[in-house]
Structures are given as structure tokens and as C-alpha cells.
Amino acid sequence: MRKQSIIFLVFTTLSTPLFCQSAIKKEKPEKTAFQTSQPWRPSIDNRGDVAIIYGTGGNPSDQKKQLRFEERVKSWQQQGYSTHFMTGIAWGEYKDYFTGQWDGKTHLDEGQVQQNGDTIWHGHLVPYIVPTENFLKYLKEVHIKRVIDAGIDAIYLEEPEFWARSGYSDAFKKEWKKYYRFDWRPQHESPENTYLSNKLKYQLYYKALEDVFTYAKAYGKSKGMNVRCYVPTHSLINYSQWMIVSPEASLASMTCVDGYIAQIWTGTSREPNYYNGLAKERVFETAFLEYGSMESMTAPTGRKMFFLTDPIEDRSQDWVDYKRNYEATFTAQLLYPNIANYEIMPWPERIYEGMYRKSKDSEERIRIPRHYSTQMQVMTNALNDISVSTNKVSGSQGISVLLANSLMFQRYPTHNGYEDPQLSNFYGLALPFLKRGIPIKTVHIENLSLDETLKDTKILLMTYSNMKPLSAKAHECLAGWVKNGGIIVYSARDNDPYQTVQEWWNTGENKYAAPSDHLFGKMNIGPTPEQGEYTYGKGTVYVFRHDPKEYVLANQGDRELVNIVKQLYERKAKAGKLIFKNNFSLQRGNYQLVSVMNESVNNNPYILTGMFVDLFDPQLSIVNKKLIEPGSQAFLYDIKKVTDKNRPQVLATAARIYKEKINSREYSFIAKSPVNTTNIMRILLPSEPVSYSIKDLGGNIQKNASCDWDKNSKTSRVVFDNNPEGIIVTIRY
């Protein structure tokens, strides 16, 4: 690669209105978004499509007094952004409600309370909320009405969260009496009380969302607006592991929900889990399963899904840690080719302006390093370009794990000494296959009645050791699927303390000792079958009398499970050879993704050959051979996949590109991104450039700009300091 001398030319066309400063795009896409409580400023202008303005009163975590909501909205709109609104439904900047400013009564007694009487707080005078009718009335009148009056037509109510360890407040006891029609029972006294308590928590936030969204749509309609309603929520896996109850998959039954944000990031995915007897962080693997559970929760409904990643996280770490785990979660999300809408970051003010340790061994706190902000912006700008693909992630397809919302009901407190450490009864079914390079899917029991749910599943792994079916209808669906050729592998001892809670399988005409007995009965197997293989119709059921946690709590405890599933996959499902490997790869258009796992079948690196731009390298190097070691990922732009190599085009960039123009042997555009960051971009050209012009909108030459040319790839690398107002790049070739 050799350096190209930069010849700055003054073109007469630049004095005419060829470019305009505004980045407003006629089509107003809503492909990428970010959430912020701050007004626009040049240091956080990350150029996503949508600025989701947080809170009419801001974010409770904000230290400084905020501008009025309407002023914050206007500040982003003036920079060309679409604007939406987000606030918490379980917590938020609602001090006027809790301290009595709204209706003259204090409501701090409506917080979620633990057994010891302590309220669970999100911040000063910000409790996690029991969503009473009065609170929902306040939320609608004070917040939802205001944002619709401000012209906002998309509302996000995030994190409908009820802590499993709560349920002792007077407000909750009143809701219990109203729902169950008998007096409150302390959840710590029995498994049944715990189950009832968590079912109520689940129901309260289901009804809360339904209530507020129904109001928002009706009020918007009265003003001639089509208000769209979204739920940003953690995955069922994370909420279960963190011992939080939330409606999750049941939201699919709400006609007033238009879509979701999958709130998955380093902070959720670094939660340790067990494999081969060792508890540790497995960020890529956990993120892959979390994103998968969100995709499978919503895919049968056809609703819009945004996947979120965060270049940092809530907990204070160091920049090296943030970068490594961002690459892992970012790759995991892109391995789902049916999703192409993204929340590119939460809180750009925290990412660009926060002070964090330089490295693990350093106490020096710095703002985001230039190399990392460049890499991050290359990655987020790729999300503006990447599209849905019909390609599938590499590996043997068709193995799924069954999930249910009731996974959240059995996590806290412990009863009768039964433990499920770090959600091992779930990971015990998923990790043995994921770690062997099989792209395991998840299936939600609440969606079984939808035709698409089991369409691609050949073997369904399931257990009732950590969850229970909330209705008998699910068993009718499962039995019908097996009868038509499906295969179930059921693993459970069926002796956890929740097997005997009073539920549909042991009340009325049903007298089953365990819910699985009802399922087995539907398939003519009989109650409490011994371990072994059974046939029903064209399908097969294999019963293990082990709890799935036993597969991961012991070293190599999963061998019998894996061997049986392999035999069923190849012999019964006739799905081909079940291939074990240590990696996943996927081609999405011109983008190539690879993740190589450790703790797998071998420690071999994955090797790619061709001609690529390395998108995890802030220098955007051209690589002909890429070696990806276990425990790492790669994100590459495949130059050989470009269909029209004679058309000049930006392949990768740390700034968003506007106003592209191609004239006779001249290529020009405007690049925009936050101040205090560096744009490095890789541009494909038909031939070697003869001159570059890199100027700001005032016509000032950018002194720190540089350009070079790579003959083999026919690409130019252009470097300059970013400016949110825009940098005009003109190349003659």
C-alpha cells in the first residue's frame, strides 16, 4: 500500500447549492435507532435514523437538570432525526407522583417491597413500581398525553419488571386480593405461594402495558395520528437468570403492541453460566441464545424487532473489556439474518462522554479512545446498510429448546432445597449443542398454536424441571406435532417442588402428579414413563430421567444426551449428519461473520481467504487471509461480493454518508459523525485517484486529512476528523 499525495482543488460547483447542510432524508427510514435523555449536541451526533427521546423529565440517572422534553425533541429534529419517545413502565422520573405533587397524596408505598420491608429502588425517590390503576392514570395523563401532543407517534415503554424477591407491599397485597379474591399469602412460605405471587406480577405488567398502549392509540387516533407502541425488554433468559418477572412472550397476544427492542448487551450476556462443571462468563454464547429467544418470541407474529447492542455497559469496566465484549454481542446479533433493525446504542452521552478505566490494570480514566470510537462507528454504520438475508448460519439445523414464561416463576425463593444454579436447567439443554457448533434455536410454548413456531424444528428439547405449562392447549399442539413426525427429547426427574402447585393438571377432572404426565398421556405413553424411547404416530419421544442441570454441572455430563440426540437426528429425523464444530459463520450480502468458540470440540482457528475489509480493525485494513482464534469473532466486508466494481462506492466508514454524486470520473459525498472522533473509510474506485478534496461546509481544507491507495483491492483509505455538520469529500480518478 502506498501513500497518495493529496491535491486539494477548488471546484466551482462547491459554491453552488450542490450540497445542503441538512441531513434530512425524504424517505425517513427507521432502521437504526438510539435512546438518549439529552438534547442534541455535536459530541453525541451518531447519525442513526431515530433519536428515541427518553422521559418527559429525562432519565433518573441524569445528574444535571434537563431541558424541557419538547426542547430536547426539537433539538434532534432540527438535525434531521426522526424522534420517538421512551420511558420506563416499572421505574422512571416520576417523583411528582411519589412525593404527592400530582394528586396531593404520597405514593412511595407503591414501590416493590422485599420480605424484610425494604423497597427496591432504581434511584433516589425512584422505586420499582407496583403498577396500580392510579399510577397508570398518572402515566397516561402526565406523560403519554404530553408526548402525543408534542407530535410523537412512536412510544416505547421499557422494562416491565417485577422483582421475584418482592411482593410484600400493601399495594401488592391489594392487587392480590383483587385478582385472586382471597387474602395475600407470603411467597416464602410455600412453592404454591411463590408461583401465585409471580403469576400475579406477570399479569400486572401485562395489563399495565395493555392499558397504557390502548390509551395511547385511542388518544393518538383522536388527533389523527397512528401511534405505534413498542416494548423494549430483556430476554426471557436474562430475566429468569436475574430473577425478574415480566410478560415476555404473552405480549404476542396484545393487538396494541407493534414491536419490541431486544435489550441484550454485555451486561446481560456476561452473566455466568455452568458448562462442564465450571461457572464463568460466556458472552458470545449467552448473547446468541438471548437474541435467539427474542427472535423466536416474535417471529411467528411478524412484528418489528430491533436488536440492541451497547459499546459499553451499565457497570463500570475498562475500555479493553468493553471492546472485546461488544464484538462478541455484535457478532451474535448479526448471526440472526431475519433481523435487520437495530438500536445501535443506548445513551450516546454515556458512551462518548463517560470516563472509564483505560485498561484492567490502570486506574487512569479516559473518554472513549479514538481507535474504539472509530471502530464502533464503522460497526454502527454497517448496521445502516446490512439487510435481511435468506442465508442460514452454518451448522446442522433443526434442534430447538422449549421455553415458557413460567421460567421466571420458579427462580426465587428456594423451596425444599431444590436448586437451579445460574439457570442450569436451561443451559443444560442449550450449551451442549451450541458449544459443538450447532445453531440451537428456542421455541416459546406460548406460540405453539401459531403455524410457524415449529416449522423448522426436527428435535425439540424440553423439561418441566424449571418451568410449567400454563395451559393444556400447549400439550395438544405438541402431541399433534409428534404424531406428524416430530421428535421430543424430555429431560426431567419431575421432582422439583413446583410440580405439585395447584394448577390445571391437578385440579378439576385432571389428576396428574406432574404436568409431563398429561403430555405423555396425550401421546399414549402413560404416566411417569421410565427412561427410554417411545413412538407416537410418525414421531418419537425420548425420556431422560435427569434434570438438565446435571448435563452442565459436571464435567462432560452431557455425553449421553448428545449421543442420543445425534442418533435421533440422523436415524429418526433423517436430517443428515449432525456435524460438530467449534464455530459459526454467516454471509449476509457483502458481510462475512465468524465466531469461534473455546471449550468446544477442538481449538482450531477458523481461516478465511479472499479479499476483505476488516471491520473490527479501526484502520480498515485489507486482508487476504483472516485467522480467527477460539474465543474471538470477525466482521469482514467481502470486496469480491461487490456486484458493480466500476461504480465508486463507500464500502466501510466511521461516518454516515449523504448526498452521494457520481459524475464523469468524479465521486463526491458528505460525511457526518460526532466531533472528537476520527473517520476512517474504505472507498472502492474504478481506478487510482488523481486528486482528493476534503473540506468542511465552509470550504476550509481539513489539515489532518490523509488518503492512500491499495492497487490490489482498488480501494482508497481516507482519514479525517469527523464533523456532525459534514465534511465534503470529492475524489477525481
Weakest mean pLDDT among 1-10, 66-75, 284-293, 347-356: 1-10
Residue 652 Ramachandran class (φ > 0 left, ψ -120 to 50 alpha, else beta): beta
**239 within domain boundaries:** no
Cα distance between residue 468 and residue 408, in whole Å: 10
Residue 166 has pLDDT above 50, yes or no: yes
Same domain membership, residue 521 and residue 459 = yes
Same domain membership, residue 6 and residue 114 = no
The domain boundary, picked from 537, 572, 607, lies at 572
The dihedral built from the CA positions of residue 92, 213, 446 and 450, taken in this order, carries a sign that is negative
As a whole number, the mean pLDDT across the chain is 94
Same domain membership, residue 105 and residue 146 = yes
Q: What is the pLDDT of residue 723?
A: 97
Same domain membership, residue 555 and residue 671 = no
Same domain membership, residue 562 and residue 682 = no
Residue 302 has pLDDT above 90, yes or no: no
Q: What is the pLDDT of residue 423?
A: 98
Residue partners of 174: CB distance under 8 A and separation at least 6: 132
Query: What is each CA distance from 440 to 53, 95, 309, 397, in whole angstroms?
Result: 36, 44, 21, 8
Weakest mean pLDDT among 445-454, 494-503, 529-538, 621-630: 445-454
Cα distance between residue 602 and residue 583, in whole Å: 10
Cα distance between residue 184 and residue 172, in whole Å: 9
Tell me the pLDDT tens digit for each residue of 342-377. 999 999 999 999 999 999 999 999 999 999 999 999
In three-state secondary structure terms, 67 is coil
Residue 717 has pLDDT above 60, yes or no: yes
**Cis preceding linkage at 413, omega within 30:** yes
Residue 175, classified by CB atoms within 10 Å of its CB into exposed (0-12), middle (13-18) or buried (19+), is buried
Q: What is the pLDDT of residue 9?
A: 37
Q: What is the pLDDT of residue 631?
A: 98
CATH classification at residue 663:
2.60.220
| Torsion angle of C-alpha atoms 207, 213, 217, 219, degrees rounded to 10 | 90
Tell me the pLDDT tens digit for each residue of 591-616. 999 999 999 999 999 999 999 999 99
Q: What is the pLDDT of residue 22?
A: 33
Residue with cell 482519514: 719
Contact 184, 113 (CB under 8 A): no
| E strands present in 597-663 | 606-614, 622-628, 632-638, 649-653, 656-663
Confidence of residue 64 (pLDDT cuts 50, 70, 90): low
DSSP result, 193-247:
HHHHHHHHHHHHHHHHHHHHHHHHHHHHHHTT---EEEEEE--HHHHHHHTEE--
The domain boundary, picked from 228, 260, 285, lies at 228
Contact 274, 551 (CB under 8 A): no
Smallest CA-to-CA distance from 234 within 172, 194, 287 is with 287
**630 within domain boundaries:** no
Q: What is the pLDDT of residue 150?
A: 96
CATH classification at residue 509:
3.40.50.880
Residue 11 has pLDDT above 70, yes or no: no
Q: What is the pLDDT of residue 63?
A: 63
DSSP result, 530-561:
PSEEEEETTEEEEEE-S-THHHHHSTTTTHHH
**677 within domain boundaries:** yes
Cα distance between residue 525 and residue 512, in whole Å: 14
Confidence of residue 450 (pLDDT cuts 50, 70, 90): confident
**329 within domain boundaries:** no
Weakest mean pLDDT among 249-258, 283-292, 677-686: 249-258
Residue 399 has pLDDT above 70, yes or no: yes
H/E stretch holding 54:
strand 50-54
Residue 381 has pLDDT above 80, yes or no: yes
Q: What is the pLDDT of residue 491?
A: 98
Same domain membership, residue 6 and residue 63 = no
Tell me the pLDDT tens digit for each residue of 566-599. 999 999 999 999 999 999 999 999 999 999 999 9
**342 within domain boundaries:** no
**259 within domain boundaries:** no
DSSP result, 77-103:
HTTT-EEEEEEESSS-S-HHHHTTTTT
DSSP result, 326-368:
HHHHHHHHHT-TT--EEEEEE-HHHHHH--EESSTT---EESP
Q: What is the pLDDT of residue 244?
A: 98
Same domain membership, residue 67 and residue 7 = no
Residue 24 has pLDDT above 70, yes or no: no
Q: What is the pLDDT of residue 292?
A: 97
* Count: domains in the chain: 3
Q: What is the pLDDT of residue 20?
A: 28
Q: Give me 38's grid cell.
A: 439529552
Residue 26 has pLDDT above 70, yes or no: no
Same domain membership, residue 558 and residue 411 = yes
Smallest CA-to-CA distance from 262 within 283, 228, 236 is with 236
The dihedral built from the CA positions of residue 426, 429, 434 and 438, taken in this order, carries a sign that is negative
Smallest CA-to-CA distance from 545 within 535, 555, 560 is with 560
DSSP result, 396-450:
---EEEEE-GGGGTTSSS--TT---GGGHHHHHHHHHHHTTT---EEEEGGGTTS
H/E stretch holding 618:
none
Q: 420: domain range?
A: 399-572
Contact 202, 162 (CB under 8 A): yes
Confidence of residue 27 (pLDDT cuts 50, 70, 90): low
Same domain membership, residue 549 and residue 649 = no
Residues 393, 401, 502, CA angle at the centre, nearest 5°?
A: 160
Smallest CA-to-CA distance from 257 within 303, 293, 307, 218 is with 303
The partner residues of 715 in beta bridges, in order of sequence, read 684, 710
Residue 358 Ramachandran class (φ > 0 left, ψ -120 to 50 alpha, else beta): alpha
Q: What is the pLDDT of residue 323?
A: 98
For residue 36, give the DSSP letter.
E
Q: What is the pLDDT of residue 250?
A: 85
Contact 476, 433 (CB under 8 A): no
Same domain membership, residue 557 and residue 681 = no
Cα distance between residue 324 and residue 714, in whole Å: 31
The domain boundary, picked from 572, 599, 627, lies at 572
Smallest CA-to-CA distance from 463 within 511, 503, 514 is with 514
Q: Give me 16's grid cell.
A: 453552488
Residue 664, classified by CB atoms within 10 Å of its CB into exposed (0-12), middle (13-18) or buried (19+), is exposed
Cα distance between residue 382 and residue 216, in whole Å: 34
**602 within domain boundaries:** no
Report percent pLDDT > 90 for the chain. Answer: 91
Cα distance between residue 591 and residue 288, in whole Å: 18
Same domain membership, residue 657 and residue 557 = no
Residue partners of 427: CB distance under 8 A and separation at least 6: 273, 274, 275, 548, 552
- Mean pLDDT along residues 665-678: 98
Residue 395 has pLDDT above 80, yes or no: yes
Residue 390, classified by CB atoms within 10 Å of its CB into exposed (0-12), middle (13-18) or buried (19+), is exposed
State how beta strands 82-88 and 154-158 pair.
Answer: parallel
**556 within domain boundaries:** yes
Same domain membership, residue 58 and residue 7 = no
